[in-house]
Structure 1
Amino acid sequence: MENPRVLFVCLGNICRSPLAEGLFRKRASEAGLTVAADSAGTGDWHVGEPPQQQSQDVARVAGFDISDIRARRVSPEDFTRFTHIVAMDEMNERDLASVRLQDGGTAEVARLLSYSALPEKNVLDPYGMSDDAFQKAYAQIESGVEGLLARLRQAH
């Protein structure tokens, strides 16, 4: 079976999805899993920009660095390049459906918190909010990433 290739997607690719990408890489490495990970946004407002400083700060405190990630927009080809495309919220998931071509590859598309036992269905979008909002979003992301990794370990 092929190694998982996971794309994390949020709106602008500067808050939630870079955190998910960085945490997923860290935890997969710690678990000895061979995976590929990337992140993207459904919008193009921040293409080429690094993650927001608050996201970088949360990552640094959690023991990983996301400062080298640059925002990009999700593309139809991503549905072929990745085995899993993981949306941060319902709107991102809906937007992904409009990007996917008719013969849009075999990537499994799901919301991150569908892998979590948390009652929430959407990861909070902390853009423009307080540091506490970034911490809450990170806690949700951590729960979803752990669930996703558990599922990938079972499948591989």
Structure 2
Amino acid sequence: MRPAPGELPAPREPGRYAVALVCLGNICRSPMADVVLTRRVDDAGLAARVSVASAGTAGWHTGKPMDSRAAATLLAADHDPSAHRARQVDPHWLDQHDLVLAMDEQNLADLGGRSERVHLFRDHDPVGTGGEVPDPYYGGDQGFEEVLAMVERTSAALVSALQRATGLP
């Protein structure tokens, strides 16, 4: 069940929305998306109504900052990655968030599969809808830049959808 472009599940609490972003270790893709989406939410004046969080399906990096290459890529694009500390998905997240976005098919499977509230992050990407966000961990800097480009455009689309979901212009 893939969502229609720009469509989000209804909020559990009217006027508020909670988004969770999930990858494997919570040191590359999901924290990059967390930093960018949080900033876009703030810039759109939605911070009081929309919360954003990220986690990994595995706990290997719990408590550690994001990958230094991910952080450098964000810094080069004028984003602040310094507050991030990796954490593992809590089983209650599926009940506590209005939308859980997995970075790839394996993360999606680890979350129990696609549902009304669990989608792939790129289901909301205006380019390449439904694709995966590739894991840049074992590659070079170019992979992190590609991930950032996907995250930036998908975050912009998500903010537009979040404005509609929360009833704000």
TM-score when scaled to structure 2? 0.83
Conserved 8 A contact 1:10-1:92 = yes
Conserved 8 A contact 2:61-2:87 = yes
What residue in structure 2 maps to residue 102 of structure 1? none
What residue in structure 2 maps to residue 23 of structure 1? 36
Within the candidate set 69, 85, 105, 1:54 is matched to 69
Q: Secondary structure at the match of 2:101?
A: strand
Q: Deviations over 1:126-156 (max 9, x none)?
A: 0021001100011111122112111111222
Query: Mind listing any 5+ residue stretches in structure 1 that lack a counterpart?
Result: 99-105
Query: Mind listing any 5+ residue stretches in structure 2 that lack a counterpart?
Result: 1-13
Structure 1 residue identity aligned to 2:83: D
What residue in structure 1 maps to residue 138 of structure 2? 128
What residue in structure 2 maps to residue 4 of structure 1? 17
Separation in structure 2 between the aligned mates of residue 145 and residue 88 of structure 1, nearest angstrom: 13
Quote the offset at 1:80 in angstroms: 1.9
Within the candidate set 123, 131, 142, 1:114 is matched to 123
Conserved 8 A contact 2:15-2:165 = no
Equivalent positions of 1:1-156 (< 5 A) are 1-34=14-47, 35-97=50-112, 108-119=117-128, 121-156=131-166
Conserved 8 A contact 2:98-2:117 = yes
Conserved 8 A contact 1:112-1:145 = no
38-47 vs 145-154, which moves further = 145-154
Q: Deviations over 1:88-142 (max 9, x none)?
A: 11111111117xxxxxxx9811111111121260011100210011000111111
Structure possessing the higher relative contact order (Cα contacts under 8 Å, 6 or more residues apart)? 2
Quote the offset at 1:2 in angstroms: 3.6
Q: Which has the higher helix share?
A: 1
RMSD of equivalent CA atoms = 1.6
Separation in structure 2 between the aligned mates of residue 37 and residue 119 of structure 1, nearest angstrom: 23
Alignment length, in residue pairs? 149
54-63 vs 5-14, which moves further = 54-63
Q: Secondary structure at the match of 1:65?
A: coil
Quote the offset at 1:25 in angstroms: 0.7
Does the C-alpha gap of structure 1 residues 79 and 126 become closer, same or farther in structure 2, counting only changes over 3 Å? same
Q: Deviations over 1:35-68 (max 9, x none)?
A: 1111100111111111001111111122221222
Separation in structure 2 between the aligned mates of residue 70 and residue 93 of structure 1, nearest angstrom: 22
145-154 vs 46-55, which moves further = 145-154
Conserved 8 A contact 1:48-1:71 = yes
Quote the offset at 1:85 in angstroms: 0.7
